Amino acid sequence: MKELASIKEVKENLVKLISDDWALVSAGDRDKWNTMTISWGAVGELWGKDVVFAFIRPQRYTKEFMDREDYFTVSFFDERYKDALKICGSKSGRDYDKINMAGLTPSFDGEAVYPAEARLVIKCRKIAVQKMDNSGFIDDSIESNYRSGDYHFVYIGEIEKVLEK
């Protein structure tokens, strides 16, 4: 993989990549890591930094790794990995060895883990975490995403590196 100078060099539409093609958010260390599929998220600028916003529900196993670690990655894949992303979105790492089920291999960049099969990886240093709740919802239809009251935690990561195949 080659390192890009910044996120601004990515030629693809990041909104499409996240919402339509999906991504994996990963965190952990060389002993234990987990990943999960995301189709909600954002890339942008905040506080004078290029950042990623990752949204994770409280019951997700990956949240434990996101809380524990200083780094996380967001990884994008070729279409042939769509089934792997389906596994990572429907199986819990608490109950299954979903990483092996999905045919993924860990790769490391310093303290950050990502699947080696990814074609684009955004390495982030966690700089903020905030639990969402409905107190800020102006559009009442948003609440339909939280029938169980399991409001996402928003993880904001400063983009430290972008790797591309």
Q: Return the domain boundaries, the chain.
A: 2-164
Tell me the CA distances in angstroms from 78 to 84, 117, 118, 135, one per residue in order: 11, 9, 8, 38
Whole-structure pTM value:
0.96
- Could you name the CATH architecture of 2-164? Roll (2.30)
Q: What is the pLDDT along the chain (165 residues), one digit of tens a residue?
A: 999 999 999 999 999 999 999 999 999 999 999 999 999 999 999 999 999 999 999 999 999 999 999 999 999 999 999 999 999 999 898 998 999 999 999 999 999 999 999 999 999 999 999 999 999 999 999 999 999 999 999 999 999 999 999
Interacting residues of 115 by C-beta distance below 8 A, sequence separation 6+: 24, 26, 35, 75, 77, 99, 104, 105, 106, 107
Give me 103's structure tokens. 């045919």
